[in-house]
Structure 1
Amino acid sequence: MGYLSTITYAMILFPILALFITLPYMVINYRKYGSVNKLRTLILYSFILYLLTIYLLVILPLPDRDSVRHSYTDMINLMPFSFVMDFIKENPLVLSKPATWLMALKHSTFYVPAFNVLMLIPFGVYLRYYFKCSFKKTALLTALLSLFFELTQLSGLYFIYPGSYRLCDIDDIIQNTTGGCIGYALGWFAVKLLPSRDAIDEKSLEAGARVSGIRICLSLIIDTFIISIPYSISHTTLPFPVFIAIYFAIIPLFNGKTLGSALLRFGLYFEKNKWFGTIFRGLLLTAYFYLIPIGLQNMMYEFNKYADSLLYICLFLITFMILILFLIYTIAVVLLNKRLLFDRISGAKYKSTVTNK
């Protein structure tokens, strides 16, 4: 039950952790490959969930602080392979008596070492398959990860507790490292059955040659965040959409890029009338993302003032539906990698600057 509750905690915490890493993860992938590969995302996010789970298995359950009375030195075992002697002395296994076999499996002298081995097997698989580590590097990294766990326990969760609430055991490092090495061997199947890391990279670069709608929107989000910093510092009375319009109408005139698009490695270009097209696009973009939705919201606010009138109720509902349809249309265009309306009208096109080199 303890293991199941810990895994449940990990599943609850993972979406929060994923929320914080998604934006930098997308930026790094778009900058390096020009796209976000689904298989790579599945592998890396499952790896993060796995690391979070085993970390929680190491530190949970947390005891009451007042109940921890051990000194740090009292909770250390530096005698290697003592778990073997414990198994020989305490385990009820008698090979000639099959009735004892199940009891032997349920005994802590077996299932604790077995769990320590199993816990790091996936780590070895990940290291061999995706991170392309050698056997020696896999063994070293597994041992270092296990050492980190043991030091976490020895320090009383980084000295939050007055002493260690779990045993820091050299045997745990031996068992964990064994698990990582077994995982490395099992990683052979992952290498044979799944696309290679090089194949994933090549496919990502191919997809990155085309600038996707999500990539464009992510750059717009980054640009908006960048603009909001000087706008907040300046304490200007000018409306924020004016800053947006100036930024998107002028900055791309220099080299066809905004700070956001440069970060994600793509540029803006026009087949003709670059200056007019860039300025016109900046104004249309501002109207599309700010004036239209804000205008519709203001209309809904005004209609709501006269909610006792059937006419204004109908106008409110119509305006609300227009706003919803506008949002659905925008999301659909982005997900389907179609050109947004302001790009189609202004004639704007995008070119990725990511190369295979």
Structure 2
Amino acid sequence: MFQSYLFPISYAFMTFPVAALFFTLPFLIVQYRKHGYINKIRAVVLYLLLLYLLNAFYLIMLPMPASRHNLPPSGNTIQHIPLQFIQEILKEGNFSAQQPSSYLALLREPAFLQTVFNIVLTIPFGLFLGYYFRTRWVVCILLSFSLSLLFEITQITGIYGIFDYPYRIFDVDDLITNTLGGMIGFRIALWISGLLPKIEQLDNHEDLAAKRVTFTRRSIAFMLDAFVWLTGLTLLNALSVSGAFWISTSVFCLLVPCLAGGRTLGKWIVRIRISTQRERLRLWMLITRYLLLYGLLIGMNRLILVSSQLDGLTSALATVVRIAVLLGDMAFSIHLFIGIFKKKRVLFYENISQTCNVITWPEKKQESAKDVTNSVVN
């Protein structure tokens, strides 16, 4: 019987890296937005929660039928009698109050082991609710019951229509035992919370003014900005607007940051902005920064496309253009790579424009409300 549990658990661990990959981007955005930085303890707990949910899902759903066109169930698909599992345990184990040996026999009965499994299944869920989310016991009951109900509905619907017929029954006793397991986990969390770092105090000794804007943070802001910028560029191209590239770039990289205090949409989401250490941010600084970053680098790469469309350009000259662009890209990549590992991570366009990225945080949420002035590679 225990071998049947190892099979879905192994699937959960195999698919965890893929699930973590999709989970990471929203996780980072929420953490930057809510807390201003990434706390390692918080990250470990949330990834453990993801791993637990994967294990719970596979334990409930596997094994599946060999074909989605499975046969209809031979009996009832709904067990609606509460505490029916008690009668099944007593019946299968031939329990007798006058025979102490029958007590131990119960521990080996499938009905008893299934009940224990249903309780143990949601104990970690209650632990997470009690320790990390700090929910009240009423909320824990509701959420544990909701999680169990989600599992039961998924089973009775054949995973929402993927299979022609349900391959597991809807058991009201599962709702009871899963909810009980959640409450047990909740109580355990209260008992051991004194031995673990307090979640509500993780940020008490963190000084955002001493933290750097990480490469990961700026990359996320860049990806979000690139999506918005490309959407605008595509729209302008669809309308056949001449100079669509320069118009969209100027609006998004110059006009928007100038009006929004150095923020773009992506930077606003992850709570960073463009700033300067010497004086207030000026328009010429933004022009210099983005003219070097986007105008030079992206515009340089556009020369390849332009050169291929010029009929009068010789093949030798076109080759020279491509080589020059390639060398420029390689030089910037090396500069970027070196900047990642340098203590003072200032890129050439930041140095020339006298700008940098800083963390922004509401003054009401930090005692010393100062922006981080350590520039980090984008």
Which amino acid in structure 2 is aligned with residue 212 of structure 1?
V
Query: How far apart in 1 are the matches of 2:264 and 2:154?
Result: 44
Q: Structure 2 matches for 1:277-296, cutoff 5 A? A: 277-286=285-294, 290=298
Structure 1 residue 267 and structure 2 residue 273: aligned? yes
Quick one: which of 323, 342, 348 aligns to 2:355?
348
**After alignment, is 37-46 or 127-136 more displaced?**
37-46
- CA shift digits 1:149-180 (9 cap, x unpaired): 11221222223333321121111111111111
The higher relative CO (CA closer than 8 Å, separation ≥ 6) is in 1
2: CA distance, partners of 1:202 / 1:77? 50
Alignment equivalent of 2:257, drawn from 252, 262, 272: 252
Secondary structure, counterpart of 1:268 in structure 2: strand
Is structure 2 residue 138 aligned with structure 1 residue 136? yes
- SS of equivalent residue, structure 2 residue 76: helix
Work out the CA distance in 1 between the residues paired with 2:275 and 2:328.
Answer: 35
Match of 1:298 in 2: none
Q: Secondary structure at the match of 2:274?
A: strand
Give the Cα–Cα distance (whole angstroms) in 2 for the partners of residues 350 and 80 of structure 1.
60
- Does the aligned pair in 2 maintain the 1:26–1:36 contact within 8 Å? yes
Structure 2 residue 76 is the aligned partner of structure 1 residue 70: no
Which residue in 1 is equivalent to 2:337? 328
Quick one: which amino acid aligns to residue 208 of structure 2? Answer: A
Q: Using the alignment, how far apart are the partners of 1:2 and 1:292 within structure 2?
A: 59
Using the TM superposition, give the Cα deviation of residue 12 of structure 1 relative to its aligned residue in structure 2, in angstroms.
2.8
How many equivalent pairs are there?
334
The CA distance in 2 between the partners of 1:153 and 1:337, in whole Å, is 56
Report the CA distance between 1:351 and its aligned residue.
3.9
Per mean C-alpha deviation after superposition, the further-off stretch among 324-333 and 45-54 is 324-333
- Find the aligned partners of 1:218 and 1:114 in 2 and give their Cα distance: 44
Kindly state the Cα deviation for residue 32 of structure 1 after the two structures are TM-superposed: 2.0
Aligned structure 1 segments of 4 or more residues deviating by more than 6 angstroms: 92-95, 291-295, 318-321
**Shift of residue 126, structure 1, vs aligned partner:** 0.4
Identity of aligned residues (%): 31
Shift in Å, 1:26 = 1.8
Query: Does the aligned pair in 1 maintain the 2:141–2:179 contact within 8 Å?
Result: yes
Matched, 1:49 2:51: yes
Match of 2:345 in 1: 338
- 2:155 aligns to what? 153
| 1:267 partner SS | strand
Write the distance in 2 (CA, Å) between the matches of 1:65 and 1:123: 30
- Give the TM-score of the pair, scaled to structure 1: 0.80
Report the equivalent of 1:32: 34
Contact 1:34 1:211 in 2 (8 A): no
Residue 311 of structure 1 is matched in structure 2 by none
- Structure 1 window deviating more from structure 2 (232-241 vs 151-160): it is 232-241
- Greater displacement, 180-189 / 59-68: 59-68
- Structure 2 residue identity aligned to 1:253: C
1:276 aligns to what? 284
Measured after TM superposition, the shift of residue 33 of structure 1 is 2.0
Aligned equivalents of 1:123, 1:48: Cα separation in 2: 11
**Quick check: 2:89–2:106 contact (8 Å CA) kept in 1?**
no
Q: Would you say the 8 A contact 1:83–1:109 is kept in 2? A: yes
Q: 1:120, 1:177 within 8 Å by CA — same for their partners in 2?
A: yes
Hey, what does 1:91 align to over in structure 2? 93
| Whole-Å separation in 2 of the counterparts to 1:35 and 1:83 | 48
Equivalent in the alignment of 1:5: 7
RMSD, aligned α-carbons: 3.5
In structure 2, what is the equivalent of residue 312 of structure 1? none
**1:302 aligned residue:** none
Kindly tell me: are residues 286 and 76 of structure 1, through their superposed partners in 2, closer, same or farther at Cα, counting changes over 3 Å?
same
Structure 1: gaps of 5 or more residues: 296-304, 306-314
Asked whether the 8 Å contact 1:257–1:267 carries over to 2, the reply is yes
User: Amino acid of the residue matched to residue 337 of structure 2?
Assistant: I
Comparing 128-137 with 260-269, which one deviates more in the overlay? 260-269
Query: How many angstroms apart in 2 are the aligned matches of 1:337 and 1:131?
Result: 38
Q: Which runs of 5+ in 2 are unaligned?
A: 304-314, 316-323, 366-378
Aligned to 2:167: 165
